[in-house]
Amino acid sequence: MESSVPIWQHHKDILTQAGLDFDDIEKTRKHIHQNAECGFKEFKTRKTILGYFTDVDKDNNIREYATTGFTIDIKGTAPPTDDGECNVIALRADMDALPIKEETGVDYASVTEYSHMCGHDGHVAILIATGVFLKNHRDKIPSNKTIRLLFQPAEELVGGAETMVKEGCLEGVDEIYGYHNSPLGQEGTISIMPGPMMAGNEKVYIDIEGVGGHGSEPANATDPITAACHLHSAFHTIKSRNTFNTDVVVFTICELNSGTTFNVIPRTAKMSGTIRYYDEKVKDLCVKRIEELTKEICEGFNCTPKIFIGDSCPAVVNYEKQTEIVMEIAKEELGEDAINTTKGIPKLGSEDFSCFLQKVPGCFILLNNVKPGETPITMHSSKVDYNDNITGTGVYLYVRILEQRLGISLLGSLDSES
């Protein structure tokens, strides 16, 4: 398509013809942004979302999971068909915000102690808009086809996806797809690859117990700070001496607390950190060495350690078939040059969309968000604000994926007329 109109505007124009009100969706997104909520407490956000779906049969098609999470099934009313490889497709959005003080300066900045510095408000907006479009076009969806809108709590805390899966949110689902907005490229492009796409995350907590005493008499105490310092240095040998150069793993101690004043040797020291990895075997090796080094070094300094390694979030591993399908759709709709398969990916950041992919096939897509001429801003910065321009592209690609996988036609005539 040769046009001076930006591709995201083209997508919005098509969907507007189909009845979507993007001004309203953007207004809602900013309302959610202003009233940001933390994981498992997204009650106002849930109420706002459900306000768009009051005409959906609540008893049969809306189900609650994981305290504040829920699914909405959009079922077709057209005659059934055997077309398409799938009957039930799930689309996911995460709803929670971060405990960060917002510094964007926008007039809809968060008024709570949390803020959407990762763009989850935008993910919700995309899924609301997709759901509104689908329920308004149920007459084009066969009665044996269902799209499940999956609104997930607590992605940042880690646990929202895992809890929803355990409670059965994927029952009957054939495939699942999801987005994260990303600064890896300009609006109207995506970043995507098959296989490991984002890293797994394992949390590490170490408590070291010694014997407190006076700072002037260290021989009468057992200093946990010394043990912690040696341990921190030793941890750096795991990557350099225990893994191969082809193994991707990062272990970082991000917290080290001990002591209360200048002249008292404390009784305890506390450390915490994170392991990021793509391969479970590499992660297991790293865990083994952390445990061995901690026990041996602490014993050498007459200290007693307590180790907890867990609260894990697996790596996001995209299925090859579903990823190739998304890439082909994106090439056709966005252009060959709009598909990034190398820059900045795979990422060492983690995402609990991985829990869904461990249960059903699917694909996680990075929807690039940088406006032309602007400098990319990393996620979790206090100055991040979601780019509303990419909402239309997000909805449009979702619809095209659904058409391909469910064997239906939702936009064909509108697209050819635009």
Per the annotation, where are the binding residues for Mn(2+)? 118, 120, 156, 180, 380
CA dist 133 and 143 (Å) reads: 17
Nearest Cα neighbor of 32 from 378, 385, 377, 371 is: 385
From the CA atom positions of the chain, what is the Rg in Å? 24
Cβ pair 318, 193 in contact under 8 A: yes
Cβ pair 95, 42 in contact under 8 A: yes
Secondary structure of residue 41 in the 3-state scheme: coil
Judging by DSSP bridges, how do beta strands 362-370 and 190-191 pair with one another?
antiparallel
Read off the amino acid at residue 82. Answer: D
Intra-chain end-to-end CA distance of the chain, in Å: 10
Q: What angle do CA 50, 75, 90 make, to 5 degrees?
A: 70
Distances (CA, A) of 222 to 219, 229, 260: 7, 14, 16
Cβ pair 138, 74 in contact under 8 A: yes
Cβ pair 24, 34 in contact under 8 A: no
Q: Which residue has the tokens 């079922």?
A: 75
Read off the amino acid at residue 25. Answer: I
Judging by DSSP bridges, how do beta strands 249-258 and 268-277 pair with one another?
antiparallel
Q: How many CB atoms lie within 10 A of CB 218?
A: 12
CA dist 183 and 326 (Å) reads: 20
Cβ pair 256, 213 in contact under 8 A: no
Which residues are known binding-site members? 118, 120, 156, 180, 380
Report the interhelical angle of 43-50 vs 120-135 (nearest 10°).
20
Backbone angles phi, psi at 243, to 5 degrees: -120, 155
Backbone angles phi, psi at 327, to 5 degrees: -65, -40
